[in-house]
Amino acid sequence: MAQVRIGVITDAHANLPATVAALAAMKSLGCQRIIHLGDAIGIGPHPREVLELLLSDDHMTLLMGNHDEWFARGLPDPQPVWMSDGELCHQRWTHAQLNEEWRDAVAAWPLIVDETIGNTTFRFQHYAINDGEFGPVSRDNDPSELDHAFAPVTDVVFFGHHHPRADVIGAVRYINPGALGCHPSLGARFAVIECDARGEIAISLHSVPYDASSVLADMVERDVPEAGFILKTFLS
């Protein structure tokens, strides 16, 4: 068996410099494939550039996140109580930046990908799905809560959606590489799965710095709705 390296990212959230930095770092480490766990768009000022970059990479496996789903299948109608007027405006702005022909491509992204890599089984998904929707987030990544939410059937579960990095053991190992496109002080975060010739697996977590100044400037220059809240909450 040949050695395999796979990069895993999540929640690029329309942050182009972070996405470019992570992709370059993973390729420099010899990753033959990259898996993005969802939410390519939303929050950041570069939805068009990030989605175009991800769609153009033939070595990329792209999964569906909630922000992607709103573009591909439409925003909730009627407007749910948990979606503020500001967020609705932000989502409409995001979708207006994107090419219409990308809807079908994004709509085809799976919610779950199960794979066997070497001697280990993996599940990749944006987050646990309950009744067809992404379930409530375990804020502290409590293993028992994750066990209940994910009902795991593989050895390892990779997930995103919740932005903090996590690597915890419950019934199985749960890994969140950390949101790629949020919290610039933490860098562009990603994980690498390494499989040796014997099928043994090693998983490592990485972060590379990037210049976030253009992200902050473009939030204002492009008049992104809810920019003040986003800068304070996700890009500080």
Per-domain boundaries in the chain: 4-233
Q: What angle do CA 191, 33, 207 make, to 5 degrees?
A: 25
Mean pLDDT of all residues in 65-78: 96
Report CA Rg, the chain: 17
Task: Count the alpha carbons within 13 Å of 184 in the hemisphere toward its beta carbon.
Answer: 19
Rounded Cα gap, residues 63 and 85, in angstroms = 27
**pLDDT per position as a tens digit, 133-164:** 899 999 999 999 999 999 999 999 999 999 99
**pLDDT per position as a tens digit, 203-227:** 999 999 999 999 999 999 999 999 9
- Which SS3 state, helix, strand or coil, does residue 149 take? helix
CATH architecture for segment(s) 4-233: 4-Layer Sandwich (3.60)
Compute the Cα dihedral for 72, 73, 75, 80 and give only its sign: negative
